[in-house]
A and B are shown apart, each in its own frame.
Chain A
Amino acid sequence: MKILRDLFKDYRFGISFIILIILLIFACLSFFSPYDPTFWGDVPRDLKPSMTYLLGTNSKGQDIFWQATFAVRNSLIIALIASSVSRVIAVLVGMVAGYKGGLTGRILMFVSDVFLVIPLFLVIVMLAMLVRDKMTLVTLALLLAVFGWAWDARIIRSQILSLREREFTQTAVLSGTGTVPLVLKEYMPFTTPLVFSTLINNMSWVIGLEITLAFLGLVNMEIPTLGTMLQWAISYQAVLLGYWWWILTPIILSILLFVALYWLSVSISEYLDPRTRIQRVGA
């Protein structure tokens, strides 16, 4: 497709795309894992990386390579669910608040401000402590989604507010377009780059938050994620004992993921920016 070709001309997109594909393949390998990730003692402990155990083994007796595949998969799942749900909320709230304005808009913005202002971290910690035992991937994702939409809702709303004043809105009204089709057809092309780039940023934020929560032991520690891997490694003193393969694996994977997501977000949003798009359109 022409779009992909254009995007690949940006080296940042190219590299990040490749990294993500590799990580996705890596994550899919988890379906072929010979070991159940929650079992301990499947393999000999604390072995360095070798041909049999590509990334070595940890103190719980698990193969780090296969653990990592699950970790990447689960972290990505959490990130995708959380950011998608929060995008949907942000777009709905932002568009309604922006186009309707008036009292509805003010109420919605008040609600979003509340979510912005409450000390996010403390609330998440409290809620996480309450539901810890029943915490699954999905509940964790939804919890993080609830706190991720407020900022972007406001950005989307201000964009809609300015688009509403543009003359083509009047043209659309004079063409008989109803409110909902108008917002979708006229404004979405402007809002999409915003949604896209905030989606990817949100994913980074969610992964970071998950790692932090895991670090504090507030999630289900049996489910392997990037955060839990890191937490186990630290609580088993992997650094002091010199088990570098155990601690470096989640760290390097996380860094790759963050950099890839960041570059992806920047290159896509530059590509989709209406100002450069208008230059390209019809050229």
Chain B
Amino acid sequence: MQALLEVNHLTKTFTLGNIISRVRITAVDNISFHIKPAEIFALAGESGCGKSTTARIILGFEEPTSGEIIHKGKRDEKQRNEKVWFTQGIQAIFQDPFGTFNPLRIVDRYFFETVQQYKLAETKEDAVKLIDRKLQAVGLSYAELAGRYPSEFSGGQLQRISIARALLTDPILMIADEPVSMVDASLRMSIVNLFKKLKEDLGVSVLYITHDLATAYYVSDRIAIMFRGNIVEEGPVEQVLIHPKHPYTKLLRESIPEVDPNMRWRETVNLSDTEQEEYLRKGCKFAGRCPLVMDICKDVVPEDIYIEDVLVKCHLYPEDSQDAS
């Protein structure tokens, strides 16, 4: 089956600092993954590991330093303004529900604009019907939306409205960049369940970017764990999160707080002091914090190794298993 979206050897470097001291940070370091139709693919990792940068590159808001994005078999060759063919199939939802819409504009304007630009309806009545249909799909209605400003809605409602707007063009891929991190923990399920519904009822794929592994486990089919720009583990979510192979995945998994006072964390954890130093490490970037670190980890970047369905980037695993590169 042809992949919906392919990311090949994507790299993005930022140069920070001024004339006197420059630092080059490789926010995205040679990552590759693909998303299949009708699947929810989670891209997980700490804040600042490069996931959002990847999303921005896929959507065309940033230029990659090298690498390519292939969508439906076509290479991504678009100028900044002629994005219509691309955004027809791919839409996005962002982290801050209150930032997604201009606070000084009525929310339904965005809906009508989308309908107009993509020529989705002929008359205003048809447009309203279409908008209402999409809003019903997320549990709201046009009557509740009409004439209102973003400040009149709650964060959870705004995220759902944002999803409804993204659904207008019947996309096949939805890029959700931390869609629930700014929503209350108790309301996250309603939004995450929506993604599940989109996949099951409409066959929409979702690239679910998050640092919340609990919801990632709950909703995704496959998952890739990112650490400081590298994908360190990737595979079916049951495999990766229940039987983690990479020490960082294990750390992430253990750090998710259990909702049970009898199961509190026992061991202490080491945190990095500054993020920059980890980006600049030679060899494996996790070597500074890894409980199982070996000498080779500090000098040599680990290879990508396949173990059954799972891809791991770690020196712990012998290279005579099938090599990916």
Q: Which residues of A contact B (CB under 8 A)?
A: 166-168, 170-179, 185-186, 189-190, 274, 277-278, 281-282
Contacts and interface: CB of A to CB of B under 8 A. Distances in A.
A167 B149 contact: no
Contacts of B110: 171-172, 175
A167 B99 CA distance: 5
B103 to A, nearest CB: 5
Contacts of A189: 102, 104-105
Contacts of B105: 185-186, 189
Contacts of B166: 174
B84 interface: yes
Q: Which of A166, A277, A282 has the most CB of B within 10 A?
A: A282
Interface stretch (B88-96, B189-197, B284-292, B302-310): B88-96
Contact of B113 (A177, A277, A278): A177
Contacts of B81: 178-179
B87 interface: yes
Contact of A175 (B95, B114, B152): B114
Nearest to A173: B83
Given A170-B61, A171-B101, A175-B165, A282 B152 contact: yes
A176 B169 CA distance: 10
A168 B99 contact: yes
A282 B153 CA distance: 10
Contacts of B274: none
A175 B113 contact: yes
Q: Which 3 A-B pairs have the closest CB atoms?
A: A176-B117, A167-B99, A189-B104
A177 B117 contact: yes
B14 interface: no
A166 B105 CA distance: 14
Nearest to A180: B81
B265 interface: no
Nearest to A168: B102
Nearest to B113: A175
B85 to A, nearest CB: 11
Contact of A167 (B96, B109, B152, B165): B96
Interface in B37-90: 59, 61, 81, 83-84, 87
B103 A274 contact: yes
Contacts of A173: 61, 83, 87
Given A175-B113, A278-B103, A281-B149, 12 more contacts: A167-B96, A171-B101, A173-B61, A176-B87, A179-B81, A185-B109, A186-B102, A189-B102, A189-B104, A189-B105, A274-B103, A281-B104
A171 B151 contact: no
A193 B117 CA distance: 29
Given A167-B96, A189-B104, A281 B113 contact: no
B241 to A, nearest CB: 29
Interface in B160-189: 162, 165-166
B176 to A, nearest CB: 13
Q: Which of A166, A174, A178 has the most CB of B within 10 A?
A: A174
B100 interface: yes
Contacts of A274: 103-104
B243 interface: no
Nearest to B119: A176
B218 interface: no
Contacts of A185: 105, 109
B151 A176 contact: no
Contacts of B117: 175-177
Contacts of B99: 166-168
A281 B99 CA distance: 16
B94 to A, nearest CB: 5
A167 B148 contact: no
A170 B118 contact: no
A7 to B, nearest CB: 18
